[in-house]
Amino acid sequence: MKVVLKEHTDDDPKLAISGAPVVFWAKKTAKPRPPNRVKPKMAASPASAVKLSASRGTSGARRRRTRCRKCEACLRTECGECHFCKDMKKFGGPGRMKQSCIMRQCIAPVLPHTAVCLVCGEAGKEDTVEDEEEKFNLMLMECSICNEIVHPHCLKVKDSNGLVNDELPNCWECPKCNHAGKTGKQKRGPGFKYASNLPGSLLKEPRLIRDSKEEPEPATVPTAAAVPGLTTTASAVKRKVEQEVTSKRSEEEPPKKRPPLLSLDAMSRPRLEDNPLRKKRKLFETNDEPMIVKKKKKLCKPDDPFSAKLLRHITAENDHDEENEEQVDHEEDGLSLDGMHFKEKKKYDGEVQDDNLEQGEMVKKRDGVLEDKSKVLLNPLLRTCAATDGDHLSLNSPRAGPSGEPGDAPEKSPAQLKARHQRRRLSNKEAGKESNQESVKMEDAPSQKLAIVKIEESSPNYNRRPLKNEDSVVNQNCKPIKTEDAATKRALKLEDGRANLNRPQLKMEESLTNQNHRPVKPKTENEADNQKPRWPLNNGNSDLGDWLRHRGLEANGTPRGFSHSAGTGVRRSRRYVTDRYRAGRRRNASKWSAT
DNA sequence: TACAACGTTTAT
DNA sequence: ATAAACGTTGTA
Ligand SMILES: [Zn+2]
Ligand SMILES: [Zn+2]
Ligand SMILES: [Zn+2]
Ligand SMILES: [Zn+2]
């Protein structure tokens, strides 16, 4: 009703059949209210400059990710009820927030079609080959730390190991950064802020469905965070958490990772997408009658089990977390970083670019700390997952650039761009189809992921133009540099970076970091155990299905909630499954700075 | 060009 | 810390 009224606020009463308006808007006629935020107009120059530098600062151009269009969330329609939907003009809102529906937060955001390799300037070419390994080497991988997007095989040092992040398609810690020990930046990783399945989600806890009367789960959760039902709890809960955290903190220290958590894998992935997530405040209105109905039917079954399971896991985890923490480092497989797989690159010889890549070695020498890891890394091909803890592995990643960085580059000719597009990624429609197929197939056989591979498109690979570095990163502050320089620069950056760590950056970076970052996730461990390959290699877009699958619960879209918490992430993460996702960038940040 | 929406920036 | 706002990017 509200919407209707709003829509007709400006109707001319004279046009009414009766000749007279029946309803009146409370005295104020609709007025477009002034922007809440006043804009400093003058700022243009300084502000902008700052922004630019900040955002892109170090690494290359950051690219924001976009929705995969294949996951459950992407396939859903807007709920019209969440906070963001309500903001949309189509639902009668002002349209100021410009965020996607909470129920539609993509769980596997992909690199934009326009993304290209920093080294060769070409897009991902995984579609041109069959072999997994090859696919991996030809697909674009975005480093969660330095944000660079490259073809693994375009890296100079071929032998180095990158750490593949299972949580996000085409995301890894490049060899350079991996070896370096992530010193530097740790920014927010890629991924969407509100995607419940991702670590840094800003979503608050999920509202459990308590509709049915029983509501099995809520009660049980001891951990404060989880308990949702009431909004009020928050403070209390929070406190609790913190305490724990602190206590924990003392113990831990170096990084280590956490023990294997639960295995989500098995979870039959309940797909309940319906899970309404809700934020504390109100992503959704308080009432959800409608949803409830739905849920009941479908969810009933799954739900209970699911929830219960989840809870159990959580609990369990808590328990061991504490104890296990220390051990973690070496895990059976060797790595234990959550969500990450080490991938070894084979050696190639090309020596294309510059330098970026070789640092790994140097780094090793340098960081003593890393040793453990490095050893592990050395093992060739371990794809196991690693459990990362927040510390290191957490993903941070590249940020996409939101608003700010313009400076980039000159663009490519439109034609080129276009070409690129065509060749790469499927259109939505196609994607949709694909997804369906995949989903069907995949359902059961996890192992096959590869086989399934999706449709291949003909990929004419063309080369895209060697772009310049759009990145610009380079450009901006610096002066005009050429690619080469850029490369060099980058390399330097890295090195220095490590030393310094943060670059001179601006505050922004850090701040940013906090917000979104996500630590890698947890679950993987079990999975790792169970399976093996996961999707290390081909994560490309196409394999979303697998990817999702392997992610377990979250994948389906069920958004999980997180309490967000903040700060302390890491520790917290150990405790709750959900939490772990969000490890803290913050922590890292502080760490970094300290260093 | 229009529209969706990401990720940072501001305001509270 | 959390939520609102917004510039800019990505897609069609
Ligand atoms: Zn919605
Ligand atoms: Zn998606
Ligand atoms: Zn390349
Ligand atoms: Zn990197």
The answer to whether position A74 is within a domain reads yes
Mean pLDDT across chain A, nearest whole number?
49
For residue A99, give the ligand nearest its CA: 1
Question: Measured in angstroms, what separates residue A339's CA from nucleotide C4's C1'?
Answer: 33
Q: Please give the pLDDT value at position A285.
A: 52
Q: Please give the pLDDT value at position A100.
A: 96
Decide which of A184, A199, A234 is a domain's last residue: A184
Question: Which stretches within A448-584 are classed as H helix?
Answer: 449-452, 473-477, 483-500, 507-516, 524-530, 544-551, 569-575, 577-581
Nucleotides of B under 7 A from a protein CB: 4-12
Q: Please give the pLDDT value at position A547.
A: 52
A116 and A169 housed in the same domain: yes
**Residue A284 banded pLDDT, cuts 50, 70, 90:** low
Q: Is residue A253 over pLDDT 50?
A: no
Distances A343 to A198, A199, A355, A386, A474 between C-alpha atoms, Å: 22, 22, 20, 11, 29
* Residue A403 beta carbon within 7 A of nucleic strand B: yes
Rounded-to-integer distance, Cα A578 and Cα A575, Å: 8
Q: Please give the pLDDT value at position A12.
A: 74
Q: Please give the pLDDT value at position A8.
A: 72
Q: Please give the pLDDT value at position A507.
A: 36
Tokens of A288: 């959800």
Assign residue A131 the CATH number of its domain. Answer: 3.30.40.10
Q: Please give the pLDDT value at position A307.
A: 35
Mean predicted confidence (pLDDT) in A70-95: 94
Higher pLDDT: A550 or A232? It is A550
Decide which of A145, A163, A184 is a domain's last residue: A184
* Residue A105 beta carbon within 7 A of nucleic strand B: yes
Q: Please give the pLDDT value at position A158.
A: 73
Instruction: Convert the pLDDT of each residue in A113-133 to its tens digit.
Output: 999 999 999 999 999 999 999
A119 and A102 housed in the same domain: no
A90 and A139 housed in the same domain: no
* Residue A404 beta carbon within 7 A of nucleic strand B: yes
Q: Please give the pLDDT value at position A9.
A: 73
Of the candidate ranges A310-324, A329-343, A577-591, the one whose mean pLDDT is the lowest: A577-591
Question: Measured in angstroms, what separates residue A558's CA from nucleotide B12's C1'?
Answer: 31
Strands A141-143 and A171-173: parallel
Instruction: Convert the pLDDT of each residue in A516-539 to its tens digit.
Output: 333 333 333 333 333 323 333 233
Q: Is residue A177 over pLDDT 60?
A: yes
Q: For strand C, which residues in window 266-305 of chain A come within 7 Å by CB?
A: 279-281
A178 and A116 housed in the same domain: yes
A103 and A117 housed in the same domain: no
Rounded-to-integer distance, Cα A237 and Cα A278, Å: 17
* Residue A45 beta carbon within 7 A of nucleic strand B: no
For residue A291, give the ligand nearest its CA: 1
Instruction: Convert the pLDDT of each residue in A437-450 to its tens digit.
Output: 333 333 333 333 32
* Residue A439: count of CB within 10 angstroms of its CB: 17
How many domains does the structure of chain A reveal?
2
The answer to whether position A71 is within a domain reads yes
Rounded-to-integer distance, Cα A404 and Cα A395, Å: 22
Higher pLDDT: A232 or A79? It is A79
Mean predicted confidence (pLDDT) in A470-475: 33
Rounded-to-integer distance, Cα A103 and Cα A91, Å: 15
**Residue A84 banded pLDDT, cuts 50, 70, 90:** very high
Higher pLDDT: A433 or A139? It is A139
Comparing every residue's Cα with the C1' atom of nucleotide B7, the nearest one is: A402
The answer to whether position A435 is within a domain reads no
A124 and A172 housed in the same domain: yes
The answer to whether position A105 is within a domain reads yes
Tell me the sheet residues that pair with A143: A172
- A90 CA from centroid of ligand 4 (Å): 40
Tell me the sheet residues that pair with A343: A162
The answer to whether position A544 is within a domain reads no
Q: Is residue A94 over pLDDT 50?
A: yes
Mean predicted confidence (pLDDT) in A493-520: 33
Mean predicted confidence (pLDDT) in A51-63: 49
pTM of the model: 0.49
Q: Please give the pLDDT value at position A15.
A: 78
Residue A149 belongs to what H/E stretch?
Answer: strand A149-150
Q: Is residue A245 over pLDDT 80?
A: no
Mean predicted confidence (pLDDT) in A380-395: 34
Decide which of A154, A184, A214 is a domain's last residue: A184
A84 and A134 housed in the same domain: no
Higher pLDDT: A153 or A59? It is A153
Closest C-alpha to A465, from A503, A414, A506 = A414
A158 and A173 housed in the same domain: yes
Q: Please give the pLDDT value at position A203.
A: 65
**Residue A72 banded pLDDT, cuts 50, 70, 90:** very high
A93 and A116 housed in the same domain: no
Q: Please give the pLDDT value at position A571.
A: 26
Residue list, CB under 5 A from ion ligand 4:
A 143, 145-146, 174, 177
A123 and A174 housed in the same domain: yes
Mean predicted confidence (pLDDT) in A497-501: 31
The answer to whether position A347 is within a domain reads no
Question: Measured in angstroms, what separates residue A346's CA from nucleotide C7's C1'?
Answer: 42
A75 and A127 housed in the same domain: no
Tokens of A124: 């991902």
The answer to whether position A588 is within a domain reads no
Closest C-alpha to A525, from A199, A260, A164 = A260
Mean predicted confidence (pLDDT) in A307-319: 33
The answer to whether position A470 is within a domain reads no
- Residue numbers of the domain that contains A175: 111-184
